[in-house]
Amino acid sequence: MAELRVIQAWQASYDDPVQVGAGEDLRLTGRTDLWDGHLWQWAVDRTGREGWVPDALVRVDDGHSKAAFDYSAQELTCEAGQVLTGLKSLNGWIWCRTEDGMEGWVPERHLEPC
């Protein structure tokens, strides 16, 4: 875990982000995006929520796309100057926690080490 300072504010993009557990089915739409050098795929979870998922999440098993690990696309709204704890990194994003326990993804380019 590392302390990170927000150098550029970030506003969460989705109110109800896509979420999957390891082994759950994902429906991929075929839409892809290369964001900061990382491949993302547009997916639909079992409840119908849609959103971008990292390519590393998708595993094909018997012709079906499944989640290779637990994943939530929950983003964290944060302000410049705020100090966050970085917990893990994936495809140019860092899963962060605020002092009051809120968690979510923040683009790595919006953060710097304290």
Residues 48 and 59 in one domain: yes
As for how many domains the chain has, the answer is: 2
Residues 26 and 47 in one domain: yes
Q: What rounded mean pLDDT belongs to the chain?
A: 96
Cβ atoms < 10 Å from Cβ of 3: 10
Residues 56 and 80 in one domain: no
Contact 91, 51 (CB under 8 A): no
- Using a 10 angstrom Cβ sphere, with 0-12 exposed, 13-18 middle and 19 or more buried, the burial of residue 77 is middle
3-class SS of residue 108: helix
The rounded percent of the chain whose pLDDT value lies above 70 is 100
What pLDDT score was predicted for residue 61?
85
What pLDDT score was predicted for residue 1?
80
Residues 24 and 43 in one domain: yes
Residue range of the domain that includes 101: 2-13+74-113
Task: Give whole-number Cα distances, 75 to 18, 61, 62, in Å.
Answer: 11, 28, 31
What pLDDT score was predicted for residue 76?
98
Residues 84 and 68 in one domain: no
